[in-house]
Amino acid sequence: MTHHHNYTITKDGQLLIKKMESDQVETVWDRHAAQQPQCGFCDLGLSCRICAMGPCRVDPFGEGPQQGVCGADADIIVARNLCRMIAAGAAAHSDHGRDLVEVLAEVAENKAPGYAITDTEKLNRVAAEYGIAADGKTPEQVAGELAHAMQEDFGTRKKELALVTRAPEKRQQLWRKLNIMPRGIDRETSEAMHRTHMGVDNGWQSLLLHGLRNALSDGWGGSMIATEVSDILFGTPKPAPTKVNAGVLKADQVNVVVHGHNPVVSEMVMAACQDPEMTKLAEEKGAKGINLCGLCCTGNELLMRHGIPMAGNHLMTELIIATGAIEMMIVDYQCIMPALSKVAACYHTKMISTSDKARFPGMEHVEFHPDNARKKAYDVVKAAIENFANRGETYIPVEPLDAVGGFSVEAVVGALGGTPEPLLDAIKAGKIRGAAGIVGCNNPKIKHDYGHVTLTKRLIENDILVVDTGCAAVATAKAGFKVADAISHAGPGLKEVCGSLGIPPVLHFGSCVDNVRILVLAAALANALGTDISDLPLAGAAPEWYSEKAVSIGAYVVASGIYTVLGPMPPIAGSMNVVELLTKGLGEVVGATFAVEPDPEKAAVLIRGHIENQRRKLGLDA
Ligand code: CUV
Ligand code: SF4
């Protein structure tokens, strides 16, 4: 069966799917096909297995049962399921943030060899937001106090998280009024699990409102802490060139690939790969050097801060192994398909898991902790070098493309001359109509990268600035939109503005936790205009999302006042009440709604319409 042109728009993807077919190795698309037809009850959100009186399901046609054993109806079951998706997503992002705070605390106590405070300026700036004065203290003392204050954000002793003060005053007041101001990061996730236990919150509206509060504890809490502490420890990103797609692998070098999310592991692996002693060892084994590449979000972390090349996004993670060119793939957590080790077993690739929280069948487990990470990184890189001798034939199907990454808010504001004013002026003048954040994953239900690339193309050609993160950011980089010359695809106004700044029309804002950089920029723009985020000509989109984390992201983006278009339909269609609230009613509550549109051409029309409407309401084109 040869469907490989239908699965992905990418050349490297198509060629590697073909290779896996002839190697008779199963892919995510094969497994997706084997699952058809997928369960209709689950697809609509109408199945529940929360308790042992169940599992239960509600008949969408109104003929069979309309309530579970406990009496929960479609609205309750759908809202409860959605709330739990948000809780899982928020937990994943926030636990990632916690791991960084732990490293920060250990750096403060000098117990994490190899880790250090890299951006002292940012350390002091964030510390000040937590009410910690830096004068007369060493960076380590400040880091220790900041880590402690951040740990309080995870707990139950506070009424409001520290970093919500970054949101416009109006937005904060709205959250207080709605009683969705996030209190403790862990508290909101824990409360979500409590509320969704059988016999607790059976108000579908109150469940959804708590879902928003839980998501806000991710966006303005766990994820924001993850990004800020990563910048403090590893440096705040600045624009730098890199290379992308499967062509970043090198036929004559030891290829080491990091996959997952937390830079705590990948940064140490990078340090080991860049050690001249290791290069020497690789040369002794007949390789020309060590080539470190990234996948998914930990790849984005390294790309943003160090220009490390990016081998691919979510749906490329299996395919890339079929190049036969990867000596070792080192994973931490999140979005790592357990199928990877089965694929790796067909080639010579060694798979290494590193987190106590994330085990995979068929992977060797080398557990990284802040106090031993440097040593473990050297151990695994040495093993990767040893594995070079086992390499068979390689197939690296394409040449890599150029891209630029590294657009932190600090870098963007810096490029604008120190304030967001020039960007606002360009928006006011209509040269830039507005901005859209395109984020999230790949999903075999959508042609790989088609959603991201098509939507981006349509928006930039209509003078809408695109900032992107996660797998979306990798997709548009592979499509060639992340070089200065890509302004040739932009409309006249966007072309002029980006051209004069020498930046691409599509800015790489980082990993999934770095979606908070979009929140911070949106808040800065709203504050500069003396208004709320929901008044700005902004939109969000997740054209190919799959993960629970993406549900949490979508929920905090909407709760922050940004209209958001999802590609794949979330499992809510079984409750028209929930659908109506999320796509219409929320507008009156938080000033923004969700839309669902799998066709990116149509999603672009929705977003353009929304942005023009926002401009009219602001009186910009009067
Ligand atoms: Ni965190 S969450 S597939 S790697 S963006 Fe990529 Fe990004 Fe989704 Fe996962
Ligand atoms: Fe069924 Fe209610 Fe138990 Fe869910 S919580 S499984 S609907 S009895």
Helices (H), 162-275: 169-178, 185-195, 204-217, 223-234, 263-273
Distance of CA 154 to the CA centre of its chain: 20
Above 90 in pLDDT, residue 296? yes
**Which ligand is nearest to the Cα of residue 66, counting in written order?**
2
Q: Whose CA is nearest to atom 1 of ligand 1?
A: 512
Top mutation candidate among 76, 77, 83 for ligand 2, by most atoms within 8 Å of CB: 77
**Which residues, judged by CB distance below 6 Å to any ligand atom, belong to the binding site of ligand 1?**
261, 296-297, 313-314, 335, 440-441, 470-471, 511-512, 547, 549-550
Helices (H), 442-483: 450-461, 470-478
Above 50 in pLDDT, residue 489? yes
Sign of dihedral through CA atoms 447, 511, 603, 488? negative
Above 70 in pLDDT, residue 367? yes
The minimum-distance atom of ligand 2 relative to the CA of 77 is 7
Angle at which helix 74-108 crosses helix 185-195, to 10 degrees, equals: 150
**Which ligand is nearest to the Cα of residue 443, counting in written order?**
1
Element (H, E) at 303: helix 296-306
Q: Does domain 408-618 have CATH number 3.40.50.2030?
A: yes
Structural contact between residues 16 and 319, judged by C-beta atoms closer than 8 angstroms: yes
Distance from the alpha carbon of residue 51 to the mean position of ligand 2, in angstroms:
5
Distance from the alpha carbon of residue 297 to the mean position of ligand 1, in angstroms:
6
What's the Cα-to-Cα distance from 163 to each of 132, 419, 423, rounded to whole Å? Answer: 13, 20, 24
3-state helix, strand, coil in the chain (%, to 5): 55, 10, 35
Write down the pLDDT at residue 197.
Answer: 98
Q: What's the CATH architecture for 81-234?
A: Up-down Bundle (1.20)
Q: Select the CATH number that applies to the domain covering 246-390 from these four: 3.90.1300.10, 3.20.20.70, 3.40.50.2300, 3.40.50.2030.
A: 3.40.50.2030
**Which ligand is nearest to the Cα of residue 442, counting in written order?**
1
For residue 24, count CB atoms less than 10 angstroms from its CB and return exposed for 0-12, middle for 13-18, buried for 19 or more.
exposed
Residue of 508, 513, 469, 467 whose CA lies nearest to 224: 513
Q: Is 53 in the pocket of ligand 2 (CB under 6 A)?
A: yes
Element (H, E) at 126: helix 120-129
Write down the pLDDT at residue 621.
Answer: 82
The minimum-distance atom of ligand 1 relative to the CA of 512 is 1
The pLDDT of 397-422, averaged and rounded, is 96
Write down the pLDDT at residue 1.
Answer: 47
Q: Whose CA is nearest to atom 2 of ligand 2?
A: 70
CA 254, CA 168: separation in Å to the nearest integer? 49
The residue ranking higher by pLDDT, 560 or 1, is 560
Tell me where in the chain the CATH 3.40.50.2030 domain(s) lie: 246-390, 408-618
CA 156, CA 174: separation in Å to the nearest integer? 22
Q: Whose CA is nearest to atom 6 of ligand 2?
A: 54
Query: Taking the CB of residue 396, how many other CB atoms lie within 10 A of it?
Result: 20
- What does the pLDDT look like over 121-152, one tens digit per residue? 999 999 999 999 999 999 999 999 999 999 99
Top mutation candidate among 445, 547, 549 for ligand 1, by most atoms within 8 Å of CB: 547
Distance from the alpha carbon of residue 334 to the mean position of ligand 1, in angstroms:
8
Q: Which residues of 503-523 are buried (b: 16+ CB within 10 A; e: fewer)?
A: bbbbbbbbbbbbbbbbbbbbb
- What does the pLDDT look like over 573-582, one tens digit per residue? 999 999 999 9
CA 324, CA 386: separation in Å to the nearest integer? 15
Distance from the alpha carbon of residue 76 to the mean position of ligand 2, in angstroms:
10
Q: Three-state secondary structure along 220-238?
A: HHHHHHHHHHHHHHHCCCC
Q: pTM score, two decimals?
A: 0.97
Distance from the alpha carbon of residue 448 to the mean position of ligand 1, in angstroms:
13
Write down the pLDDT at residue 507.
Answer: 98
Write down the pLDDT at residue 75.
Answer: 98
The pLDDT of 214-228, averaged and rounded, is 98
Structural contact between residues 88 and 81, judged by C-beta atoms closer than 8 angstroms: no
- pLDDT category of residue 4 using cuts at 50, 70 and 90: low
Element (H, E) at 20: helix 11-22
The pLDDT of 391-402, averaged and rounded, is 98
The minimum-distance atom of ligand 2 relative to the CA of 68 is 7
The minimum-distance atom of ligand 1 relative to the CA of 442 is 3
CA 357, CA 136: separation in Å to the nearest integer? 39
Above 70 in pLDDT, residue 2? no
Distance from the alpha carbon of residue 191 to the mean position of ligand 2, in angstroms:
19
Element (H, E) at 552: helix 548-559
Q: Three-state secondary structure along 28-83?
A: HHHHHHHCCCCCHHHHHCCEECCCCCCCEECCCCCCCCCECCCCCEHHHHHHHHHH
Q: Is 198 in the pocket of ligand 2 (CB under 6 A)?
A: yes
- Which amino acid appears at position 577 of this protein? N
**Which ligand is nearest to the Cα of residue 334, counting in written order?**
1
